[in-house]
Structure 1
Amino acid sequence: MVRFQLLALATITAVAAAHVPTFAAAQSERLIPLVDGRTCWTPTSNRCFRYDESRRTATRSGFGNVRVSSRIEVKPGFITESGFVAIERAISKQTGGHIYGR
C-alpha cells in the first residue's frame, strides 16, 4: 500500500514537473550574429549598424560611436533581439557627427 502511494506521488510529481515551462523557454529570443562590419536585424533588413570588433563599437552614418559591452553578448558573437534594440537606441540618442580630439 505504501509503495503504491509513493509510486503515485512520484508519478504525479514527474507529470507536473514536465508541464512547467522552463526559464530558458520563457526567456528565449532569437539570436542575431554580431558581425564585424555590418550587423543587421535579418539578412535582408535595412535595420543595420556598423560593428567594429577590435574596438567593440557600433555606429551608423552621421552618428557617433557607441561602446558595445561584452555583457550584451549571450554567447560569443551573438546578441539577442533586445540587445540589438538597445544598441540601436544608444546610437539614435547620439547628437550626430564624429567628435575629433577625444
Structure 2
Amino acid sequence: MAELLPPPSNDSCLGIHVPEPRPNRTVLRWAPVQPTAGRVRVRAYTCDCQPTFYELCQAGGQLFIRRTQRLGARVLVDESEPFRYAKALIMWTKLMEGLAW
C-alpha cells in the first residue's frame, strides 16, 4: 500500500499527498497538454494544496496522468503519454508510492 504523507495541519485538507520521489524512481515522460476530440474524465486525483498535484485521466479508451505545477504566478500543466488501463494503474500506484516522477 502507498505510504501517504499526512495532510498539512489545516483540518480541511483530506486529500492524498504524493511523497517525495525515491532515488530508484521511474521517470515519466511529460509533454504539454494536447487537445482531445473527446471528453476527459478524472478517475483519481491528489490534493491540490501542494504546489504540484496529479490527476489520473481517461479519454478515448486510454488513461494518462496529468501534472499541474504552480510556480509562483505561473501554472504549468502537462501530461504523461497515454497508457493502457493496466499500465496506467501501475504508473499511478508508483507515483503514489514515490516510485515514479
TM-score class, shorter:
under 0.3
Larger relative strand fraction: 2
Question: Under a length normalisation based on structure 1, what TM-score does the superposition of the two structures give?
Answer: 0.28
Relative to its length, the structure with more helix (as a share) is 1
TM-score, scaled relative to structure 2: 0.28
Larger relative contact order (Cα-Cα within 8 Å, sequence gap ≥ 6): 2
